[in-house]
Amino acid sequence: DLFAYLVKQDFAKGLMPLRFNLEILYFEREKRRAWERAILGKRAADDK
């Protein structure tokens, strides 16, 4: 996934401290989960 790749590139260059890196990854994962829940919820509503 592109975001993870970019974060890894930045981290490899030492531009981002590890903690900040992990916080971004966690935030992105949570955001994606929220999106998936919203999409699945909408699909379920559409199916009814």
The pLDDT tens digits of the residues spanning 9-41 come to 776 776 657 777 788 889 999 999 999 999 898
pTM above 0.95, yes or no: no
**Own/partner pairs for 21-29, CB < 8 Å, 24+ apart?**
28/3
Number of folded domains in the chain? 1
Residue range of the domain that includes 41: 2-47
